[in-house]
């Protein structure tokens, strides 16, 4: 059984605050196959109410978080209805040791984003 977990949060760097209401989907990736294993929405603090994945379901392998940033940017008035520069933001990452905590945050604005392995 794994003691690790996967967490995330979203910060709106253009507004200088947590990004509430961002839909996030988590996929397990194997070759060209993507299997959705979780979906959530960020709370008022820009975080998920629970880890995206934990326990025996969190195993070594490749994962992809997809952040529905376009919906959030439109809701907050930072983007119009047309084609967006950033819409769905996928972050693919590997988990070599499922016993560890992997924190994969997203920092967004209408025209840029960044991520890192947090703690």
pLDDT digits (tens, 9 = 90+) for 84-95: 999 999 999 999
pLDDT at 1: 44
Per the listing, tokens 């839909």 go with 23
Give the pLDDT confidence of 98-110 residue by residue, as tens digits: 999 999 999 999 9
In the chain, where the domains are located: 5-115
pTM for the model: 0.94
In a 3-state reduction of DSSP, which class is residue 13? coil
Q: What angle do CA 114, 92, 49 make, to 5 degrees?
A: 75
How many C-beta atoms surround the C-beta of residue 21 within 10 A? 15
Half-sphere exposure of residue 23, counting CA atoms within 13 Å on the CB side?
10
Cα–Cα nearest to 62, from 13, 104, 29: 29
CATH topology for 5-115 is: Immunoglobulin-like (2.60.40)
Q: What is the pLDDT of residue 2?
A: 53
Low-confidence ranges of the chain (pLDDT < 70): 1-2
């Amino acid at each position: 059984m794994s003691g690790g977990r996967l967490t995330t949060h979203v910060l709106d760097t253009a507004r200088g605050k947590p990004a509430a209401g961002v839909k996030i989907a988590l996929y397990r990736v194997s070759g060209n196959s993507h299997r959705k294993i979780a979906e959530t929405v960020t709370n008022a603090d820009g975080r998920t109410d629970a880890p995206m994945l934990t326990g025996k379901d969190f195993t070594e392998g490749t994962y992809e978080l997809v952040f529905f940033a376009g919906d959030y940017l439109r809701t907050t008035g930072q983007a119009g209805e047309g084609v967006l520069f950033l819409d769905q933001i996928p972050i693919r990452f590997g988990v070599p040791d499922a016993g560890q905590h992997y924190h994969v945050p997203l920092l967004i604005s209408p025209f840029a984003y960044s991520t890192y392995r947090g703690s």
